[in-house]
Amino acid sequence: MVQEFDKVGVVGLGTMGAGIAEVFARAGFNVIGVEIDQAAVDRGRAHMDRSLSRAVGKGKLTEDERAGIESRMTFTTSREELADADFVVEAVPEHMDIKKDVFGDLDRICPPGTILATNTSSLSVTEIAALTSRPDKVVGLHFFNPAPVMKLVEVITTVSTSAQTVDLVSEVAKRVGKTPVAVGDRAGFVANALLVPYINDAIRLYERRIATREEIDSAVQKAAGLPMGPLTLADMVGLDVCLAVMDVLWEEYRDQRYSASPLLRRMVAAGRLGRKSGQGFYAGTDEAPEPIPTGRYAQMIREEETLDLGEILLAPQIDDAMRMIGDGYATAEDVDTAMRFGCGYPKGPTELLAERGAESVVTTLVAMGEYDLTSIAVPAPLLMDQLPDAEEPHGGCACQS
């Protein structure tokens, strides 16, 4: 059935949308990119031109291959030109009112058999699907930035999505060179639900002057072999994006684990969004190393043999992953695949757990609770089950709620 697909529409040609359009055109699909006006179309075309130029410059594409990709691309300001599209991906800004407008039009314009996908990273796919007359043919198709490079695609299903649609979209994802992970419609899905709270934890440590930004980043890089630390990553992702995901998680779960750091909220309010605004944890600073914090908690943690700064950002994320797996939302393989292919982790959370052992992770969580460094009251049941003889260390978890 995948081979019958020919014309793919992409609505929204920002950095992500242009990347998605490029991904489909590279795979041999005829792609029509739609934007709100000609200026936005021109920006989208420029995004793609820069991406293709980089690929040619690095020897990843030949000039002939680039010409072929460009010949399969059409740009327009009219959604009506999607009337014969087989598959449409929406990649407009993360505002439900904008997405409602797009899906209302798509449902009216596209044939009944056309599959409609949203690239939302945090909004409810179920709510979006309910706006259409074809909820069985609506899915989330969450690409990761930069779309031509990152291998993960989260395929998000709702209670109404048909099994045939899920299978077909997963096969399409494979055809465009991606690794699909199919999960249900839940706030943050897999990758963002694990990544953004981890970033938020790092911001809390920095806000409380537990360690400098350099110490936090380097400790995590050393502990997990990550290409960059959480505060550098926050600047790259965008602090506004991090805050939006945290707020979506909070709205769904109402758990202190998903309460955004006050510092994160204030930096966004001040327009310090990271690289995109030129100001963030590093961006817009003089890059000079910060003085070592001398507060009581900072000194105690430096002297505590059972606490390692790198493990303090990692242990809660491992716990989150074990809860996700224990809930039956995703398999261990899906969790590791999402973090490796979507977030650039050399090893996924369950692989990090296997390296450390459950007792070490639980001990870190217990100690964090004693210092009021986590809102996790009790480690995940699946994590506790992996302790030797399933016994709780130190007579039980002392984590604070």
DSSP, res 279: B
* Amino acid in the structure at residue 201: D
Tens of pLDDT, residue by residue over 353-400, are: 999 999 999 999 998 998 888 999 899 999 999 998 754 444 344 333
The predicted structure's pLDDT at residue 307:
79
Confidence tier at 110 by pLDDT (50, 70, 90): very high
DSSP, res 158: -
Nearest C-alpha neighbor of 128 from the set 11, 260, 213, 45: 11
Placement of tokens 């074990």 in the chain: 322
Residue 141: CB atoms within 10 Å: 26
Q: Are 25 and 31 in contact (CB under 8 A)?
A: yes
* Amino acid in the structure at residue 231: L
Q: Give the separation between CA 230 and CA 239, rounded to whole angstroms.
A: 11
DSSP, res 375: -
Nearest C-alpha neighbor of 140 from the set 171, 118, 162: 118
Share of the chain above pLDDT 70, in %: 93
* Amino acid in the structure at residue 34: V
Q: Give the separation between CA 185 and CA 155, rounded to whole angstroms.
A: 9
- pTM for the predicted model, two decimal places: 0.89
Share of the chain above pLDDT 90, in %: 82
Q: Does 127 have pLDDT greater than 90?
A: yes
CA distances to 26, 65, 175, 231, 391 from 104, in Å: 29, 36, 28, 38, 54
Q: Are strands 138-143 and 152-157 parallel, antiparallel or unpaired?
A: antiparallel
Active site residues: 121, 142, 154, 192
Question: 3-state class of 222 per DSSP?
Answer: helix
Tokens encoding 320: 């989150």
Residue 380: CB atoms within 10 Å: 23
- Per-residue pLDDT, averaged over 127-156, amounts to 95
The CB-side HSE value for 186 (13 A sphere, CA atoms) comes to 15
Tens of pLDDT, residue by residue over 149-184, are: 999 999 999 999 999 999 999 999 999 999 999 999
Residue count of the chain, please give it: 401
Q: Are strands 30-34 and 87-90 parallel, antiparallel or unpaired?
A: unpaired
Tens of pLDDT, residue by residue over 307-319, are: 789 999 899 999 9
Question: 3-state class of 138 per DSSP?
Answer: strand
